Structure 1
Amino acid sequence: MKNIVIGSGPAGRLGSLELGKLGEDVTLIEKNHIAGTCLNEGCMVVCALTDITKFIDENNRFNNYGFIKSQMDISYEKITEKITETQEMLRKLNQMENESVGNNVIYGEAEIEDGSVVVGNETFEWDNLLIATGARPFIPDVKGAEFGLTNKDILKLDEVPEKLNIIGGGIIACEIANIYATLGSEVNVVVRSTFLKDLSAETKRYVLEKIIPHVNVIENTDVVGVFKDKVLTSNDEELDGVPFFATGRTPNSEIAEGFVEINPDRTIKVNEMMQTNVDNVYAAGDVTGGYQLTPVARMEGITAARNMAKYANKVSYNCIPQTLSLNTEVSFVKNEKIDLGDDEKATIAIPGIAGPGAFWKILEGNTGYTEIDFDKNNNKINRINSISPSSTSDVAYLSYLMRMDYDLDDYGEFLEIHPSTDTNYKIIKNLWL
């Protein structure tokens, strides 16, 4: 059967790869660069820059301790140049990976016309169609919005801005604030409501005081005007600095308008099998809304692919782990199926321990923080907020156990590798076993 996939971000790329592995005929169509926002404009760019800021952070710490004496000269131009080189290498590898299972990868802007896909002068018929066109930065309707930068502009900057005003209060806003504050910018974050509202109060406090102490966060404030070198807030305050929008994302669903059912927020409506309301037409990734995370997009793309190949599969969104890529990682997960009352919930908070990457932070009392809510009646984890260099692997592992509905007592058989999973040892064994 002929399978057409439009969009090669995490959902489309992994969906195509899965279809190819299952022996299906696949044509993957990409408008710009393979691997989508994640590699080319999003999380991979943020992670690359955060690798630099972690190094700067460590260098400053060792200088303060007195056993290393060094002076750093940072070239932002050279950093972006090397990120671009790495992206080009990864694009080639991603294309080779898809072609290695027999998939046809073509480039051009796709349009859906009369039950077929048109790219330039070529027309493609399908038995199954997967729309994985992703999303783009959402720009609020504010005067002067055209002056605002977004994550799409990070690699286009010639130098680190002297002053930066980030508009938004979520994960992207925090990560961008961390990067540029570490690189030397004077950073304001202007938040319409609450900064990092998905984190517990104590976890947020730790982030503000220990990880991004030099970032000025202004909550419950709107931006009413944007200029090339300043923003105007609803408090009639003028903040000097380059404006940067981190105000969420909007789906690239225009290709599907009038073809499949669209939700009020412009995302494509799908069921748990990633099916649209049109037979043999599927959608996956950011264009469907929900968790706009690379691992979730991958999961959705693979789910869609299996259903396209007639292997029934459903997607589940419970216990999705998330992280903030900062100089020290902040990871969190919540079991959405459990809503505990005060009589059912117990909360345990512990300071970080000297696990991987934390030894030289002990002297300054900055080794992290972990907070866990659990159902004391049923002995189940409900929520985890964890700050530590190993929190990304710790919380990913624990979120799996949460999804599998393990009791806390079942975690006792976990055997850690010292020191890389020591945090798991402290959380799982010392806390309640």
Structure 2
Amino acid sequence: MNNIVIGSGPAGRLASLQLGKLGENVTLIEKNHIAGTCLNEGCMVICALTDITKFIDTNNRFNNHGFVKSQLDISYDKIVSKIVETQEKLRKLNQMENESVGNDVVYGEASIEENTVKVNNESFEYDNLLIATGARPFIPNVKGSEYGLTNKDILKLDEVPEKLNIIGGGVIACEIANIYSTLGSEVNVIARSKFLKELGANAKEYVLENILQDINIYEDTNLKEIFKNKVMTDNDEELEGTPFFATGRVPNSEIAEGFVELNPDKTIKVNEMMQTSVENVYAAGDVTGGYLLTPVARMEGITAARNMANYPNKVSYSCIPQTLSLNMEVSFVENERNECEDTATIGIPGIAGPGSFWNILPGDTGYTEVEFDKANNKIKRINSISPSSPSDVAYLSYLMREGYDLDDYDDFLEVHPSTDSNYKIIKNMWL
């Protein structure tokens, strides 16, 4: 059977790989660069820059301890050039990986017709089609919005902005604020409602006081007008600095409009098998909305691929772990299925787990808060701030998803020091 996948981001790329491994005939079509937003404009760029800011933060900490004496000279344009160089290598590897399972990779802008996809004036017939065209930055309807930068522009900057106005209050806004504040920008974050609504109150307080302490936060604030080097708020306050939009994403669903059913927000409507309203057409990743996360897009792409290859399966969105990539990681997960009102919350300071030893002297080891269902003895929610929180929360989210209760965690045996945080959370809190 002929399978066509449009879009090579995490959803499309992993779907193509899965189909190829299952012996299916696959054509992967990509408009720009293979690996999509994640590698080329999104999380990989953020992670690369955050690696630099973590190094700066660690260097400053060691200087403060007095056993290192160094002054860093940071070259932003060199950082950008090395990120681009790395991206080029990864694109080649990603293409080779897809081609290694027999897939064809075609570059060009696609259009869809019934049972046919056209690209570069060539027509490709399909038995199954997967639309994985991703999403792009949302630009609010504010006068002067054309002056605002987005994540697409990070690698186009020649230097670190002296002053930066980040418009938005979510994960992307927070990560961008952390990066450029550490690199030397004077940063304002302007949120139309609350900043970091994803976190619990105590975790948010820790982030603001210990990680983003040099950033000015404006909550419940709208913009009246945007200029090239400043913004004006709805109460006529002028804030100097380059405007940067981190206001969410909109789906690249125009390719499917009039062909499959869309949701009111223009995302492609799919069922739990990632099928659209057209029987042999599937969609996955950011173009379908929901959790705009690389691991979720991969999961959706693989689910779609298996169904396309006639291996029926369904996607599940319970207990999705998430992380803020900051100088100290902030991770969180919630069990949406657990609606019990009889809960208890335990908060503990960070401990000397992996990456935390030299944070102990200033008392900067993080904070973990766990809410659990007392009646059923199960974890309901976790907010964890520590260098190891991404792996800790990913592991714990799996246990939550599988329905383990707290007594089952007694069998956990840590590898010192890499999973000491898990030991503290799992064993010492309830035993």
1:13 alignment partner AA: R
1:300 alignment partner AA: E
Deviation at 1:64, TM superposition (A): 1.0
Which residue does the alignment assign to 1:186? 186
Give 1:349's match in structure 2, choosing from 338, 347, 353. 347
Deviation at 1:338, TM superposition (A): 1.4
Which residue does the alignment assign to 1:360? 358
1:397 alignment partner AA: Y
Which residue does the alignment assign to 1:312? 312
Deviation at 1:339, TM superposition (A): 2.2
1:21 and 1:379 map into 2 onto residues whose CA distance is 41
2:105 and 2:289 map into 1 onto residues whose CA distance is 25
2:159 alignment partner AA: E
2:210 alignment partner AA: K
1:111 and 1:399 map into 2 onto residues whose CA distance is 39
2:391 and 2:134 map into 1 onto residues whose CA distance is 26
Runs of 4+ that moved beyond 3 A:
none
1:290 and 1:123 map into 2 onto residues whose CA distance is 32
Deviation at 1:224, TM superposition (A): 1.6
- Pairing of 1:125-144 with structure 2 (within 5 A): 125-144=125-144
2:422 corresponds to 1:424: yes
2:164 and 2:281 map into 1 onto residues whose CA distance is 43
2:280 corresponds to 1:284: no
- Pairing of 1:396-407 with structure 2 (within 5 A): 396-407=394-405
2:113 corresponds to 1:119: no
Q: Deviations over 1:203-245 (max 9, x none)?
A: 0000000011001011000112111000011121100000000
Which residue does the alignment assign to 2:255? 255
2:192 and 2:133 map into 1 onto residues whose CA distance is 29
2:411 and 2:236 map into 1 onto residues whose CA distance is 58
Identity of aligned residues (%): 79
- Pairing of 1:3-402 with structure 2 (within 5 A): 3-341=3-341, 344-402=342-400
2:221 and 2:146 map into 1 onto residues whose CA distance is 20
2:268 and 2:114 map into 1 onto residues whose CA distance is 19
Q: Deviations over 1:148-199 (max 9, x none)?
A: 0000000000000000000000000000000000000000000000000010
Q: Secondary structure at the match of 1:97?
A: helix
1:314 alignment partner AA: K
Q: Secondary structure at the match of 1:244?
A: strand
1:286 alignment partner AA: D
Q: Secondary structure at the match of 2:360?
A: helix
1:414 and 1:184 map into 2 onto residues whose CA distance is 43
1:271 and 1:123 map into 2 onto residues whose CA distance is 28
Q: Deviations over 1:110-163 (max 9, x none)?
A: 001243100011100000000000000000000000000000000000000000
2:235 and 2:217 map into 1 onto residues whose CA distance is 14
1:16 alignment partner AA: S
Q: Deviations over 1:318-347 (max 9, x none)?
A: 000000000000000000111232xx0000
2:339 and 2:211 map into 1 onto residues whose CA distance is 30
Q: TM-score, normalised by structure 2?
A: 1.00
2:114 and 2:369 map into 1 onto residues whose CA distance is 54
1:58 and 1:312 map into 2 onto residues whose CA distance is 48
- 8 Å CA contact 2:115–2:127 kept in 1: the answer is no
Q: Secondary structure at the match of 2:361?
A: helix
Q: Secondary structure at the match of 1:8?
A: coil
Q: TM-score, normalised by structure 1?
A: 0.99
2:112 and 2:76 map into 1 onto residues whose CA distance is 41
